[in-house]
Copies of this chain bind each other. A is one copy, B any other.
Amino acid sequence: MQIDPNRFLADLHALREFGASGVGKGVVRPAYSDADISARDWLASRMQEAGLTPHFDPVGNLFGLAEGPSLLVGSHSDSQPEGGWLDGALGVICGLELARAAAEAGGPAISVANFQDEEGRFGVTTGSTIWAGELPLDQADQLTDRDGTTFAEARSAMANRAQGFVDPARFTGFVECHIEQGPWLYEAGEAVGVVTDIVGIRDMRITFTGAQNHAGTTPMHRRQDAVQAMTAFITAINERFQNVVSPQTVWTNGHIDVHPNAHSIVPGRCTFSMQWRDGDGDRLRRMETIIRDTATEVAEARGMQVDFGTMLGLEPVDMAAPLQQALTDAAETTCPGRWRRMQSGALHDAANVARLMPSAMMFVPSIDGISHDFAEDTAEADLVTGMQVLARAIGSL
């Protein structure tokens, strides 16, 4: 089974044209945007040309279906508000090229997946979560994005394309290729990472509520300043986590919303995101305890109120051993000494699909480790090497 590097790269560049934006190879293609829907329509036509049957499900997940039992290969084509040209798009085009190469080689049967809203306009890996049965559709419909649009409203833009949900039983397994989104492969000069497991994630919003007041006339000792509470909280957990975390553990306060957000007003309310990730479910729970205890202590010490939003929790998940083995064998043949086994610190659709069928993931290097940014990129030689590893692994199954 021989892939066609030029055809593969040409399709990647063609897909980038939908939502091409920003500097470099930046893309703005959030889920259900015009650019996202146009990209999915174009991908459906490319699937049809490849001999697959395009199938949109009720939430906009797009499948290119081979006849009979098949291996599913893919990822997602939606992007972050400011994203790069590869991210999930790479995995979708990998699936398309593998399906074409396999058809030309007379097998094996390969179907293609393009999940919707992996980037979490409405949740986290929304489309594959719903497909995996982890989130009922009627609950998902009530999710809102930052502008207050509901998931139900957003997916209605694709309703005229929708058929039913695809039966997962028709697939023998799932393989997802993705950029690493971290620095390790790039810095080591390696071409391929075979994923052993995907870390678990916890994510919630924390709100400190104090007293909004005049910034000139309210003495410091009488303030109930929500920004000061947030600052004290972040400083304290940074210290307390040191007793619990490993070098792989990460935590992020990426979103802050201050009210009323004016220079001359002591801020009365501050809502911010608290996200933490680790491969060990126990450690995630110990961190949660520190977070809740510390926020409660900070609020009590200042006579303020703290509220914890709904906590999103996804447990760590292992990749299927036989698929890992096929990928490591193919990597050692294709690029000996230039690959590694590694954990995925990012969440991916494969974490959901792994609940339905044996699943595996493979990474290619991210230049300077940059992702979720217009500057995200990967050397084209590395993209082609990754394709060759995938083709060899899948051919060996």
Contact = CB atoms under 8 A, between A and B. Distances in A.
A249 B217 CA distance: 10
B371 A215 contact: no
B250 A220 contact: yes
B266 A214 contact: no
Nearest to A274: B263
A347 B182 contact: no
Interface string A181-193: 1110000000000
Contacts of A373: 212-213, 268
A258 interface: yes
A264 to B, nearest CB: 6
A215 B256 contact: no
Contact of A261 (B218, B225, B254, B371): B254
A117 interface: no
A230 B231 CA distance: 9
Contact of A264 (B218, B222, B252, B262): B252
Nearest to A119: B264
Interface in A312-344: 344
A256 B256 contact: yes
Copies of the protein in its oligomer: 2
A186 to B, nearest CB: 11
A265 B213 contact: no
A370 to B, nearest CB: 6
A254 B258 contact: yes
A7 interface: no
Contact of A216 (B211, B225, B347): B347
Contacts of A170: none
B264 A215 contact: no
A215 B203 CA distance: 11
A254 B264 contact: yes
A346 B228 CA distance: 21
A214 B181 contact: yes
Interface string A264-278: 111110000101010
Contacts of A253: 227-228, 267
A256 B347 CA distance: 28
A343 to B, nearest CB: 10
A289 interface: no
Nearest to A370: B213
B371 A213 contact: yes
Nearest to A82: B260
A262 B219 contact: no
Contact of A254 (B119, B222, B252, B266): B266
A217 B261 contact: no
A346 B214 contact: yes
B262 A81 contact: yes
A199 interface: yes
A345 B256 contact: no
B266 A255 contact: no
A219 B275 contact: no
30 contacts: A82-B212, A82-B260, A124-B264, A180-B217, A182-B214, A182-B217, A183-B222, A203-B263, A203-B264, A212-B372, A213-B369, A215-B277, A216-B250, A216-B277, A216-B345, A216-B346, A219-B248, A219-B250, A227-B253, A228-B238, A230-B231, A231-B231, A232-B235, A252-B263, A253-B267, A254-B262, A254-B265, A255-B263, A256-B258, A256-B261
Given A183-B222, A216-B347, 20 more contacts: A80-B262, A120-B263, A124-B264, A201-B216, A203-B264, A214-B346, A214-B371, A215-B254, A217-B344, A217-B371, A218-B369, A220-B250, A222-B369, A227-B234, A228-B253, A232-B235, A253-B267, A254-B264, A255-B263, A263-B275
Top 4 nearest A-B pairs (CB, nearest first) are A182-B217, A216-B346, A215-B252, A181-B217
